[in-house]
Structure 1
Amino acid sequence: MSIIEDIKDTFRQPNNTLKQLILINVVVFVVLIVARLVLTLTVGPHLYNLLMSYIALPSYPASLLVRPWTLITYFFTHEGFLHILFNMLNLYWFGQLIREYLGDKRLLSLYILGGLAGGVLFVLFFNFIPYFADRALGASMIGASACVLAIVVAAATLLPNFTFSLILIGPVKIKYIALFLVILSMSGAVGDNAGGNIAHLGGALIGWVFIKQLQRGSDMGRPIHATFGFFGNLLKRKPKLKVTHRGGGGFSRRSTNGTSSAAAASYPGKPSQHEIDRILDKISSSGYESLSKEEKQKLFQASQKD
């Protein structure tokens, strides 16, 4: 099977958000490597720099106004190998936790909201904080670090006592890993990569707020879900319905595959928000392992049907 077919299969599979996010980042990274090589050897580096200016997030508001899409494209873009490597490893490790306990939709919401928050904070700091004023013009940012740190902090807020086994260190609770990454970003906020580290802090803040709001019964990702649902419905082809006569004298609508629309719409009732909040609180205080089999099943049902 070709690489193209492998990529298509990744996007055809349902509930596969984590792999899809990683794949998008990797594909963009590889395309930029090829583009940089080809353009530099043929017409010079200026054309590659022009290309990057259309996908990197500018700090200058006037540039952002004419290229608003960069508020999204920047967090799928990497140039350094170590940059994308560490981002994708952290996305995979911590994304697995969010995906397992909260579902694919909330993983996607955290990624996008973290990136947006990081980008907005980057622009605000470079235009309203005097220390960065002389750097604002011409500064730009790429990388998924803000998105990844949002997921890291969200996982640590939800499951603070969950442990990872780190090489040469051993088991470490993820709340300490998240704390270390946040402090590292704070220390770099006045360094050479000040803009990137400021964005990290924006992502971290969103990750913490997202889980706290979710535990209070409010899902910050609903606008993201609604947006993707809207465009997803536009792309889906609605099945043709046929009216068939029933033996009892009535009529029912049937899709072209012969399944009754009433039967297709029925599904088991999902857990109430109160039950989910209670389960999330229990995870935060005692860890996922403390849940009963029934509670784990309810959490899984909620993640699939939200």
Structure 2
Amino acid sequence: MSIVNDIRTAFSRRDNALNQLLLINVLVFVAFILLRTVLFLVTKDKNAHLPILQWLAVPSVPGTLLTRPWTLLTYSFIHFDFFHILFNLLNLYWFGTLVREYLGDRRLVSLYVLGALAGAALYLLAFNLLPVFRDAPAILYGASAGVTAVILAAATLLPDYTFSIIFIGPVRIKYIAAVVVLVSVAGINGGNAGGEIAHLGGALLGFVFIKQIQAGRDLGRPVQAIGDWVGNLVSGRPNLRVTHRSGPAEAPTAKKSGPIKPEQEEIDGILDKISRSGYESLSKEEKQKLFKASQK
């Protein structure tokens, strides 16, 4: 089928991380909708899918979590409500596109994964340390923590970038991020306290992630290393070992102390282009050079 071929092609590309994250969420959503329907037709029980959900969602009880550690990641790809996944994927696409343009595919995936882990961590802390939640066991699922990390990362990276919102007009994304955080804080005393707390964990991670990148430290390296190891294991590719042959001595080369910064004249040219044609007229390479220059 052409749909199957399209999906296989999307996952075979190495520069397609954003679409792959979107696809995984959609495929899991469709799988659960089909599973829930089949189980209902067979058992006549609308809640027959809950035991499976509980094996994939993060439990608030630490003892249960120890028997299901994989839930710290699997929960971030599970949705049951159409509007829940719709808003999550729209935000992931809009803000993820910005993060991917500046930081690349690998860091986008790292940010999503770390945001999900941070959201789960804050949720577990709240439900086990705060008296108001301690006697109310719950489960956590949904991509919102990872998506909120991407939103806050984009807003920290490009605070004055504007999105045009229907009925409102152009809005700087730093204000969109502020509203996202405020809504999550206000929703803690509502019916989805665990989800809102997880949003805040993801938001904090997104902010810290970019601040560390700007300071020259990449928090996503462990995630990338694990991803490389799993990829090599699945594909059967051996790890490459570097060997040195003895030979004529080579002239010593200057040691690089960090990434090469774009020349000031080139940056001035990019800024002139923005003043003439707007930020959207820049190429991906020009945007990356502008970001590197901002780290000076």
TM-score after normalising by structure 1: 0.80
Q: Is the 8 A contact 1:271 1:298 kept in 2?
A: no
| 1:192 is aligned to 2:182 | no
**Distance in 2 between the 1:36 and 1:178 partners?**
34
Aligned to 1:63: 64
Q: CA deviation at 1:2?
A: 2.2
**Distance in 2 between the 1:294 and 1:60 partners?**
45
Change (3 A) 1:99 1:293: closer
Q: Is the 8 A contact 1:75 1:145 kept in 2?
A: yes
Change (3 A) 1:7 1:126: same
Aligned to 1:153: 152
User: Deviation string for 1:53-72 (max 9, x for gaps)?
Assistant: 11111111111111111111
SS in 2 for 1:273: coil
SS in 1 for 2:191: coil
User: Deviation string for 1:104-138 (max 9, x for gaps)?
Assistant: 01100110000000011111100001111121x2x
Change (3 A) 1:21 1:290: closer
2:21 maps to a residue whose letter is L
SS in 2 for 1:67: coil
**Distance in 2 between the 1:230 and 1:13 partners?**
17
RMSD across aligned C-alpha pairs, in angstroms? 3.3
1:32 maps to a residue whose letter is F
User: Deviation string for 1:219-275 (max 9, x for gaps)?
Assistant: 000001111112222334559xxxxxxxxxx9xxxxxxxxxxxxxxxxxxx993363
| Counterpart mapping for 1:103-252 below 5 A | 103-135=104-136, 137=137, 139-238=138-237
Q: Is the 8 A contact 1:113 1:147 kept in 2?
A: yes
Change (3 A) 1:271 1:92: farther
**Distance in 2 between the 1:82 and 1:293 partners?**
33
Change (3 A) 1:290 1:9: closer
SS in 1 for 2:261: helix
Q: CA deviation at 1:48?
A: 1.1
**Distance in 1 between the 2:236 and 2:32 partners?**
34
Q: CA deviation at 1:293?
A: 7.8
TM-score after normalising by structure 2: 0.82
Aligned to 1:2: 2
5+ long unaligned stretches in structure 1: 240-249, 251-269
**Distance in 2 between the 1:78 and 1:180 partners?**
23
1:114 maps to a residue whose letter is G
Q: Is the 8 A contact 1:102 1:299 kept in 2?
A: no
Q: Is the 8 A contact 1:58 1:141 kept in 2?
A: yes
1:95 maps to a residue whose letter is G
**Distance in 1 between the 2:222 and 2:58 partners?**
22
Change (3 A) 1:237 1:3: same
User: Deviation string for 1:161-198 (max 9, x for gaps)?
Assistant: 00000000000000000000000001111221100000
Segment drifting more, 56-65 vs 153-162: 56-65
**Distance in 1 between the 2:208 and 2:218 partners?**
10
**Distance in 2 between the 1:32 and 1:292 partners?**
41
**Distance in 1 between the 2:288 and 2:32 partners?**
43
Segment drifting more, 57-66 vs 88-97: 57-66
Q: CA deviation at 1:40?
A: 1.0
| Structure 1 moving runs of 4+ over 6 Å | 290-295
SS in 1 for 2:188: coil
User: Deviation string for 1:190-229 (max 9, x for gaps)?
Assistant: 2211000000000000000000000000000000111111
**Distance in 1 between the 2:206 and 2:167 partners?**
28
**Distance in 1 between the 2:82 and 2:284 partners?**
43
Percent of matched pairs sharing the same residue: 51
Aligned to 1:260: none
Q: How many residues align?
A: 269
Aligned to 1:37: 37
Aligned to 2:14: 14
**Distance in 1 between the 2:210 and 2:47 partners?**
43
**Distance in 2 between the 1:79 and 1:293 partners?**
38
